[in-house]
Structure 1
Amino acid sequence: MTFRFTTPLWAWQGDAPWFFVTVPREESDDIRDRPRMPRGFGSVKVRVTVGDSSWETSVFPDSTVGQYILPVKKAVRMAEGISEGDEVDVQLELIEL
């Protein structure tokens, strides 16, 4: 199952900033509804492509908004020239069912 969407990059400020995009509600609902083996924190393994960068990671449920969030690592942000507030075109493929 593969999803494509555009959404802004945002920063979570803690001891160090972490950067995320929020998976839109419809796609989050589709991910949540897929049967799969339980994983820690409700995470789901995914393969992601942003621009010319591809990597494997996990999306995590964010209970405050009821959607999944996708971490975007610094190497990707630098390679793709994206920063907080930029709209990011994301291709997200579930690799764990």
Structure 2
Amino acid sequence: MDLTFSAEVFEWRGPAPFYWLSPPSDVCDYLRAEAAAVTYGWGAIPVCVRIGGTEWETSLLPRNGEYVLPVKKAVRAQEHFGGGDTVTVAMSVAPRGGRAANGTGPPV
């Protein structure tokens, strides 16, 4: 994993409630520099993520000039954390074409 950071989990109640992490500014600066080579639409950036012993593939989404990382319910349950908790994330940007088109990756 290329990047490591800690962030607080927050709930965003959009059309469906979901939990997110906001990478710190220095990580977002790196992501912006990589975005052109890896984004596949709407500014989404494919990544491989690990929290604790759980690893999965997802995409960072742009929000207010930064990025947010969605965190699956299965990951939160397996690693025993929720909204308001601070977690440590290891993450790698996946090059365009290096990730399965259907988003499949390691099972959670």
TM-score, length of structure 2 as denominator length: 0.81
Structure 1 residues 38 and 3: alpha-carbon distance in aligned structure 2, compared to 1, 3 A threshold: closer
Alignment correspondent of 1:72: 71
The structure richer in strand per residue is: 1
Residues 5, 89 of structure 2: 8 Å contact kept: yes
Alignment correspondent of 1:90: 89
Following the alignment from structure 1 to structure 2, what is the Cα–Cα distance between the partners of residues 15 and 43? Answer: 19
Alignment correspondent of 2:8: 8
- 1:16-95 equivalent positions in 2, closer than 5 A: 16-34=16-34, 35-63=36-64, 66-95=65-94
Residues 38, 45 of structure 2: 8 Å contact kept: no
**Higher relative contact order, structure no. (Cα contacts within 8 Å, ≥ 6 residues apart):** 1
Number of paired residues?
A: 95
- Shift >3 Å, 4+ stretches: none
RMSD of aligned alpha carbons: 1.5
Q: Unmatched 5+ residue regions in structure 1?
A: none
Q: Sequence identity of aligned pairs in percent?
A: 36
1:36-91 CA deviation, whole Å, 9 max, x = no partner?
Answer: 1542210111000000100001001112xx21100000000000000100001000
